[in-house]
């Protein structure tokens, strides 16, 4: 059931690496560029609109995304502002096949670095803002299921158990 590309299967709900906050990237060197390229490949093959490094087991603070305008990489990202409110049916490659309506801010401002070490500064809204918030959660060790309300979680428990057991 795992999606496998080269040596990087996507880590699934229940894997401890998904719960650990990732490490800040100190040196943006060739290994980081290679990792970003591999992450983009995994994301596209899944397919998904975003992927955090710890979703392939690498505990580094970086993510890739592609909402239809080409793949981009953001290193050491931070959300510095957010506002509004938007409910969106959100899923996650690490919680495959399950989606929930999740309320989050509609707009965010994201800061980070690109592969050349240049500053990235993006005002995002709707899907792009949603992806940024979702990937930032991953990098902080937070999974989508931690965003569920009590009713959603109660309903989801059996499915989540199935996913966590199925991966062993």
Site for Zn ion contains 108 (CB under 5 A): no
Site for Zn ion contains 92 (CB under 5 A): yes
> Could you tell me if 91 and 99 are in contact, meaning their C-beta atoms sit under 8 angstroms apart?
yes
- Closest CB to Zn ion among residues 12, 36: 12
Q: Measured between alpha carbons, how far is 53 from 62 in angstroms, rounded to an integer?
A: 6
Q: Measured between alpha carbons, how far is 109 from 129 in angstroms, rounded to an integer?
A: 8
3-state SS, residue 46: coil
Site for Zn ion in 59-88 (CB under 5 A): none
CB closest to Zn ion, residue no: 92
- Least Å distance, CB 74 to Zn ion, is 15
Which of these segments, 1-9, 39-47, 91-99, 153-161, binds Zn ion (CB under 5 A)?
91-99
- Closest CB to Zn ion among residues 39, 92: 92
Residue 135 is a catalytic residue: yes
> Could you tell me if 28 and 115 are in contact, meaning their C-beta atoms sit under 8 angstroms apart?
yes
Q: Measured between alpha carbons, how far is 54 from 62 in angstroms, rounded to an integer?
A: 9
């Amino acid at each position: 059931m795992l999606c496998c590309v080269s040596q990087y299967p996507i880590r699934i709900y229940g894997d401890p690496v998904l719960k650990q906050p990732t490490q800040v990237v100190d040196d943006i060197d060739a290994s980081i560029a290679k990792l970003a390229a591999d992450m983009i490949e995994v994301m596209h093959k899944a397919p998904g609109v975003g992927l955090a490094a710890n979703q392939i087991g690498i505990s580094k603070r970086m993510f890739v995304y592609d909402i239809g305008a080409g793949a981009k990489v953001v290193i050491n990202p931070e959300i510095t502002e957010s506002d509004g409110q938007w409910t969106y049916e959100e899923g996650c490659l690490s919680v495959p096949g399950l989606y929930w309506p999740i309320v989050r801010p509609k707009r965010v401002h994201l800061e980070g670095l690109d592969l050349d070490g240049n500053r990235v500064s993006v005002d995002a809204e709707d899907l792009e803002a949603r992806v940024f918030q979702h990937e930032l959660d991953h990098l902080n060790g937070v999974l989508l299921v931690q965003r569920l309300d009590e009713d959603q979680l109660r309903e989801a428990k059996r499915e989540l158990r199935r996913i966590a057991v199925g991966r062993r």
